[in-house]
Amino acid sequence: MFASIKSCFTRALLALLFFGASGATLAGPVYRVSVDTGNWSGSGYLNLTLSGLEKAAPVTATVSNFTGSFGAATYTQGQVAGDIGSGFTLAQGPSFNELLQALDFGGLFTFEVRLKAPPGMLDGAWFGVALVNAGIDAYADGLVGDIAGVNLMPGAPDAPWADARFVEIAEVPEPGSAALVALGLMLAGVRLKRRPQR
């Protein structure tokens, strides 16, 4: 009876690991973005955009886990929902999609972004990160465009890019990756256990 319970428990654990691993692999990668604003002083805005070609697939960007000296003011355009506490979702639509979040320059700011694109997308999309001035009429002093972003192209892996002078962008290891490793080790262990002894 103990062997039967052990076998049932093992199968349930394998199913749970497989479910957790497969769920993580279906979701897009998560990127942690760190922006050093030590070169600037005063206030301004973190500017996040999601854009694509006219027939681009409905890509979404979920931005969360903000840290740093952010202000209360938030301005949005297009399909943007949420707040800095619970996170924002930018959804690519017929209009330009933009988030402006107030901040105090001089420190380090971090956030995480998960990009999700449907399979079979035909046109690319771009998630951009920029810094703009307090008047929202120009980029922060010395900048002329995005300082980081992720390019999504059909049939190709995501292409993150960052201006190394100010930004670090790195993929966050997914819990599903650990689940896949555990699943592989467990299957290897079961295989070795069932191997006939010499």
Q: What is the DSSP string of 99-136?
A: EEEEEETTSEEEEEEEEE--TT--S-EEEEEEEEETTS
Nearest to 46 by CA among 118, 143, 172: 143
Q: What is the mean pLDDT of the chain?
A: 82
Share of the chain residues as helix, strand and coil, in percent rounded to the nearest 5: 25, 40, 35
Of 62, 54, 33, 48, nearest in space to 123 by CA:
54
Tell me phi and psi for residue 18, to 5 degrees.
-65, -40
| pLDDT number for residue 109 | 98
CATH architecture designation of domain 30-176:
Sandwich (2.60)
Distance CA 117, CA 191 (A): 37
Phi first, then psi: give them for residue 10, nearest 5 degrees.
-60, -45
Q: Which residue has the tokens 């924002």?
A: 88
pTM for the model stands at 0.76
Least confident range of 2-6, 78-82, 84-88, 159-163: 2-6
- Average pLDDT (16-36) is 65
Query: Quick one: pLDDT at residue 18?
Result: 45
Least confident of 121-125, 138-142, 190-194: 190-194
Tokens 């008047």 label which residue?
Answer: 135
pLDDT of residue 8: 47
Across 6-30, average pLDDT: 51
Write down the domain spans for the chain: 30-176
Nearest-10 crossing angle of helices 2-26, 175-194: 140
Write the CA distances from 152 to 121, 140, 149, integer angstroms.
Answer: 10, 26, 10
Across residues 63-88, what is the average pLDDT? 96
